Amino acid sequence: MKGFIYARQSSGGTETSLSIDVQIENCKRYATKEGINIVEVFSDYNTSGRCFPVGAENVAERDLAFQRWYSEKTTPSKQYRSGLGSLFKRLHEVDVIIIDDITRLYRPLSASFLESYIHQNLILNKIKIHTVKGGIINTETFNDSLILSIQNQVESQAILVRTQKSKASLKKLKDEGWTIGGKALMLGYTQLGKQRYEINKDEEMAIKKIFELLKEGNSYEFVTSYINKNYRMPRRNELQPAHLKRIASRPEYCGMCYNSKNELIESKCFGQIPLISKGDWFKVQDVLKSKPSKTREKKGHVYTLTGMLKCGYCGKTLMVHSTGNMKYFTCRDKVEREFHQKIRYNSSDQVFCYHELRDNLFGLSYFSDSGCLYEVTYPLLVKVIIDEFLLLNNNSDLEVEINEIKLELEKIEKHEKKLSAMLLNESIDDDQFTTMAKTYKNQRDELKRKLNSLTESLYKSDESVNFELLFKEFIIGEMDDKKIKVYIHKVVDSILVYEDKITIQMKDGKELLLSQIL
């Protein structure tokens, strides 16, 4: 008796698979036991069992159920199975096909032609299916075909149920503060086992320095250059600028993590071993938000408004250009319109220029003889400074409010326990329990949202800032450009530039209109 072996792996990113190796080994042992002579082994990597074999494209194109299923897939995958296609071309050479289990040959898809197509080919060639885990199936026999179809449906449903249970379990773990994968190679920590981590002493200081430099407003290029030069990280040969945002965005470094609703909660894995304070982490997130994702700063100069200036007519972000020692902004739109011509550049009037000289950063005036874009936006910094000063002085009130919310949450927890006891004692029925439990849950969720907001505000206040010195620097115009950039991005959302005016759109939704002074 002659036979083919067929193996299939449904997901993966390579053309090698331990799963397929195991399937083939199981089938070879089965063939030896049953005295079947193996002619050839066929396999398909990273392909769903709902896909047709190569050679059945015409059938697949008319299969509406298959086409709908394939179009709704969220991840790209192969549409046809080349291994099974090659096997079907040579069915006349053998008597049986050996597979590890029937799901390797195909998976059921409601209203699809696939199952009938495969059965028809096997029946016409008088092929029997030998499964290592399910015995022999004769597709010519009606009962065997019916049982096979039912078995496939049951197995498919069982897989669906297991998948749903797995997702629910992972969601529960995430909501409780446990880490779900992806942190085994996290810089600064070493994984000891399941949900257990310790601080990696070789990388600890490098991570702390990364957050310190980013908090000061340094560029990604400067930070990576400094770290690569001064710190040794055995697991990372060289840090790249592209790595920094991903590293700095991880709340695990301050002992927190995201739950399934993308809310910050205390981490069960990293809560006791943070590398930085929560306050520093929140401040770095503000700095990251102020960094334009697609704009690069030239070494030696900080463009405080880069990424914020937009053309008022087309909405595109203005780009910085230079002529000699003069820097100026132009619209990305290359359409030859009169207003775009003026915004981009005019030889008789440097429109929105950006000069290298510190005392007149934007070059020639646009709004008056003495005031230009740097001067008109600079006073807005006072709002950020005052807000942070008030926030710092309001810390005691925030702490009182946070403690009050925590007490309320404890009361709700006690009420929920009493409610459960009342249900067990049959003091209330199921409907009453459901209604009251839902009320408590809504109250708890609202209090938690408020607690997260207040906690974030508390950690954002920087007790290390010398506000007296900061006000002095602001008044005499000696604030560092990096600091100005961070602060201005906290208060200004965007600046719309028109031919004869600009509109400054604030973070709080207000707008400041500045018209040209002739």
Kindly state whether residues 112 and 222 are assigned to the same domain. Answer: no
Question: Are residues 336 and 199 part of one domain?
Answer: no
20 and 162 inside one domain: yes
Give me the domain span that covers residue 509. 309-384+469-515
In sequence order, the 6+-apart residues with CB closer than 8 A to the CB of 230 are 209
CATH number at residue 260: 3.90.1750.20
Q: Do 342 and 489 fall into the same domain?
A: yes
User: Does 208 map to a domain?
Assistant: yes
Which residue, of 228, 256, 290, is where some domain finishes?
290
Domain shared by 208 and 349, yes or no: no
315 and 273 within one domain: no
pLDDT at residue 386, as a whole number: 67
Checking phi first, is residue 218 left (phi over 0); if not, alpha (psi -120 to 50) or beta? beta
Same domain, 281 and 320: no
Same domain, 122 and 196: no
* Torsion angles phi and psi, residue 501, rounded to 5: -165, 165
Q: Which residues pair with 163 in a beta bridge?
A: none
Residue 8 and residue 107 in one domain: yes
Query: Is 298 within the bounds of a domain?
Result: no
- Residue 352: its pLDDT value, please? 40
For residue 133, the domain's CATH number is 3.40.50.1390
Residue 195 within any structural domain of the chain: yes
Strand ranges for 298-432 from DSSP E: 309-311, 319-323, 326-330, 353-355
Name the domain boundary from 290, 324, 340: 290
Domain assignment of residue 447, yes or no = no
Q: Is residue 463 domain-resident? A: no
- For 265, the 3-state DSSP assignment is strand
211-216 long-range Cβ contacts below 8 angstroms, 24+ apart: 211/248, 211/253, 211/275, 211/276, 211/280, 211/281, 211/284, 212/280, 214/244, 214/248, 214/284, 214/287, 214/288, 215/280, 215/283, 215/284, 215/287, 216/482
Alpha helices, DSSP H, located in 103-200: 114-124, 142-175
Tokens 């907001």 belong to 453
49, two tokens: 């069992």
| pTM score of the predicted model | 0.40
Q: Write out the two tokens for 202.
A: 């070789």
* Whether 237 and 336 share a structural domain: no
- What's the confidence (pLDDT) of residue 340? 43
- Please report whether residue 109 resides in a domain: yes
The answer to the question of residue 368 being in a domain is yes
How far apart CA 373 and CA 375 sit, in angstroms, is 5
Q: Do 200 and 280 share a domain, yes or no?
A: yes
Give the pair of three-digit tokens for residue 422: 């009342």
> What amino acid is encoded at 177 in this protein?
G
> Into how many domains does the chain fold?
3
Q: Which helix (H) or strand (E) holds 245?
A: helix 241-248
Q: What is the DSSP letter of 127?
A: P
pLDDT attached to residue 52: 93
Q: List per-block mean pLDDT (blocks of 10 residues) for the chain, which spans 518 residues.
A: 92 61 92 94 90 92 88 76 94 93 83 86 90 78 51 56 68 83 74 84 90 88 87 76 86 89 87 89 84 52 74 76 62 49 36 33 34 63 67 63 85 83 77 82 85 68 58 67 77 80 82 68
| In contact, 353 and 328? CB cutoff 8 Å | yes
436 domain residue, yes or no: no
Domain match, 269 and 162 both: no
**Chain mean position to CA 321:** 33
Inter-residue contact 363 to 355 (CB < 8 Å): yes
Q: How far apart are CA 251 and CA 258, in angstroms?
A: 8
Of the candidates 403, 408, 507, the residue with the CA atom closest to the CA atom of residue 455: 403
